[in-house]
Amino acid sequence: MAIQWFPGHMHLTQKAIAERVKDIDVVIELLDARLPGSSANPMLAELTGRKPGLKVLNKQDLADPACTALWLAHYNAQPDTRAIGLDASQATPARQLIEACHQLAPQRGGMAKPMRVLICGIPNVGKSTLINTMTGSRKAKTGDEAGITRIEQRIVLADDFYLWDTPGMLWPRIIVAQSGYKLAASGAVGRNAFDEEEVALELIGYLQGHYAGLVEARFKLDPIDALRDEQVLEAIGRARGGLLAKGRVNLQKAAEIVLHEFRSGGIGRITLETPEEFAGWLAAGQQADAERAAKKQARAARKKGSGRRSGQGEGAGEGEDPGAQDSPAEGP
């Protein structure tokens, strides 16, 4: 199953970002610390050009600390980029963001040249909660559902620091299959765009290889490393009382439990990818995408050639000799 979700309001957000970024000094991209690579919008780099960027790994309190350190080092090694980790419920995150932005654009500051910052991120990454924490008021709507914020708004964090908040945005086509599942597992994708049971099975498959002990402890299971992901899902359903008639497991209910426990941090501090893993998935996705494009181009070329030959046949049927035009002219 390929997971894709790009509703109409995201297209409008894309256009709004392209227009707003012309007057922006720094672009903040809020990432999910549990999937920093998969939650980074590849389209944003195209929209923002060479603007300095601050990568904020939000929800770090839900992520594996060792993996968060790897991702921070990965992003901090990139040019014109800084990366920090945040928990949206921290009391004073605004100061960290303001300081990081001034490091990226030291020429901006003061009332004559106020700092102008654009903050972007995927849906349900915690951007609205972070903004409300920074401002000390409910400037932005929040909720455990993708697509809550629908309009752009300007927020004043200091007299000389203006922040433009944009609605959460994915990208038109997700070419990394693993990213689609992880985005869905995190709650960044609309509920109608994926099958919860399939996403839960993919999530379980990763957890078995990296966090089996946390899963066993949370659901009070025997060792799961030798089980198939379907067997683990059934075991979770039985452990949580998700049963139907004749003792059958309600797999839909079990899947909902797994996704809720992951999103809330109930299973433990988990990160679903390392920089190395994501780089491998991305390379494979780009190669597969290039192969699809090549096949599509080849089909179009064959179709075009077939149409040209068909046209030549129609001309010959009207009494013309298509070969006569190609034959060399006779000499004097």
- CATH code of residue 231: 1.10.1580.10
* Rounded Cα–Cα distance for residues 25 and 163 (Å): 10
DSSP letter (8 states) at residue 249: B
pLDDT at residue 295, as a whole number: 93
Q: What is the pLDDT of residues 141-152, one digit of tens each?
A: 444 444 444 456
57 has which bridge partners?
31, 85
The reported pTM is 0.83
Average pLDDT over residues 158-177: 90
pLDDT higher than threshold 50 for residue 231: yes
Return the pLDDT at 321: 45
Domain closes at, from 238, 264, 290: 264
Between 65 and 126, whose confidence is greater?
65
Residue with tokens 């089909």: 299
Helix axes of 65-76 and 275-317: crossing angle, nearest 10 degrees? 60
Mean pLDDT of the residues in the chain: 87
Q: What are the residues facing 243 on neighbouring strands?
A: 249
> Is residue 319 scored above 50 in pLDDT?
no
CA pair distance 66, 50, nearest whole angstrom: 30
> Does pLDDT of 217 surpass 90?
yes
Judge if 123 and 159 occupy the same domain: yes
Q: What pLDDT does 332 receive?
A: 39
Query: Which range has the top average pLDDT, 16-30, 47-61, 214-228, 299-313?
Result: 214-228
pLDDT of residue 329: 37
| CATH code, domain carrying 52 | 3.40.50.300
Domain match, 27 and 105 both: yes
Angstrom CA distances, 210 to 4, 179, 214, stand at 26, 17, 9
Give domain status of residue 115, yes or no: yes
| pLDDT the model gives residue 9 | 77
- In which band, very low, low, confident or very high, does the pLDDT at 317 lie, cut at 50, 70 and 90? very low
How much is the pLDDT for 54?
Answer: 96
Domain boundary residue among 105, 130, 165? Answer: 165
Residues 124, 58 contacting (CB under 8 angstroms): no
CB contact burial 55-65 (16+ within 10 A = b; e otherwise): bbbbbbbbbbe
- What is the pLDDT, as a whole number, of residue 14? 87
Sheet holding 153-158, edge to edge: 81-85, 53-58, 26-32, 115-121, 161-165, 153-158
Instruction: Output the pLDDT for position 157.
Output: 84
Give the three-state DSSP class for 4: coil
In a domain, 325, yes or no: no
What is the structure's pLDDT at 318?
44
Instruction: Count up the domains in the chain and report the number.
Output: 2
What element of type H or E holds 93? Answer: helix 93-104
Residue 170 lies in a domain: no
Whether residue 171 is predicted with pLDDT greater than 70 in this model: the reply is yes
| Pair 105, 215 in one domain | no
Across 254-273, average pLDDT: 97
> Is the same domain home to 142 and 17?
yes
Residue finishing a domain among 217, 242, 264: 264
pLDDT at position 45 is: 84
196 and 61 both lie in a single domain: no
Percent of the chain with pLDDT over 90: 60
Residue pLDDT, tens place only, 12-57: 888 888 888 989 999 999 999 999 999 999 998 888 888 999 999 9
Q: How far apart are CA 20 and CA 152, in angstroms?
A: 10
Residue 269 pLDDT exceeds 90? yes
**Assigned token pair, 106:** 């030291």
Considering the domain architecture, whether residues 182 and 211 belong to the same structural domain is answered as: yes
Q: In the chain, what's the furthest Cα-to-Cα distance?
A: 98
Reply yes or no on whether the pLDDT at 326 is more than 90: no
Mean pLDDT within 291-312: 83
Give yes or no: residues 160 and 181 share one domain. no
Query: What's the mean pLDDT in 278-294?
Result: 94
Q: Give a yes or no: residue 191 inside a domain.
A: yes
Residues 71 and 119 placed together within one structural domain of the fold: yes
Of 309 and 247, the structure prediction assigns the larger pLDDT to 247
State yes or no: pLDDT of 309 exceeds 80: no
Question: Residues in the chain, how many?
Answer: 332
Shared-domain flag, residues 227 and 158: no
Structural domain contains residue 67: yes
Name the nearest CA neighbour of 275 among 74, 121, 84. Answer: 74
| Range(s) of the domain holding residue 189 | 177-264
